[in-house]
Chains A and B, each alone.
Chain A
Amino acid sequence: SQTIHQWPATLVQPVGSPLSLECTVEGTSNPNLYWYRQAAGRGLQLLFYSVGIGQISSEVPQNLSASRPQDRQFILSSKKLLLSDSGFYLCAWQPGSASDTQYFGPGTRLTVL
């Protein structure tokens, strides 16, 4: 069966510090991968998605970036965090077609102080 992991689970970072969040999927090949952000009490905002290694599409221009160095690994990064980057970051995977179900990871709660 497929499993999705995210780490760290919780992170507190100062403004201006770098960020690296990791997402890995097990038990599947060539999944579509997604990064979402959820601000406190708000809905889901799609940040990036990837349909293959090295292929990244950005939905929202900001100081975040994403990379997919391996088939089942998706990384969210920032060189300098802003206060507004605080939120709950969710990674999701999807079997293949854009209309397939997306399955979400446990999330990373990021607080920028």
Chain B
Amino acid sequence: AQKVTQAQTEISVVEKEDVTLDCVYETRDTTYYLFWYKQPPSGELVFLIRRNSFDEQNEISGRYSWNFQKSTSSFNFTITASQVVDSAVYFCALSGTKGTYKYIFGTGTRLKVLA
């Protein structure tokens, strides 16, 4: 069965601190895709990154970076020098088994960045 676990329910940091959001997944597929979305207070889910299972290179985009490790089935997300605008709920997701259209979402991590 497929599963995505975001064990951190809520994290609070002070502005300018670095913070890592954990995501652990389970799948038997050899080809799969992982995603991160941000949900600010407005509610809309904003797409951040999509990573396929064959590409284990770390990704950096500005203050955001992602560490994909197949050996530990993890796809962690780090925000460097956090800002108040980073406060949101962050969801990790796994594409469904080949032939299905269902994403498997984690339960989300609420990040609070305090000024």
Contacts and interface: CB of A to CB of B under 8 A. Distances in A.
A46 B102 contact: yes
Nearest to A44: B105
Given A57-B101, A107-B43, A109-B43, A99 B95 contact: yes
Interface residues of B, number: 26
Question: How many of chain A's residues touch chain B, expressed as a range?
Answer: 20 to 34
Most chain A CB inside 10 Å of its own CB: which residue of B32, B37, B106: B37
Q: Is the interface of A mostly helix, strand, loop or mixed?
A: strand
A34 B100 CA distance: 13
Nearest to A103: B47
Given A43-B108, A106-B44, A101 B50 contact: yes
A59 B32 CA distance: 21
A35 interface: no
B108 A101 contact: no
Interface string B19-59: 00000000000011101010000111111001010000000
Nearest to A32: B101
B5 to A, nearest CB: 12
Contacts of B91: 43-44
A10 B101 CA distance: 28
Interface of B: 31-33, 35, 37, 42-47, 50, 52, 91, 95-96, 98-103, 105-108
22 contacts: A32-B101, A34-B101, A43-B105, A43-B108, A44-B91, A44-B105, A46-B102, A46-B103, A49-B101, A59-B102, A90-B44, A92-B45, A94-B101, A98-B95, A99-B32, A99-B33, A99-B52, A99-B95, A101-B50, A104-B45, A104-B46, A106-B44
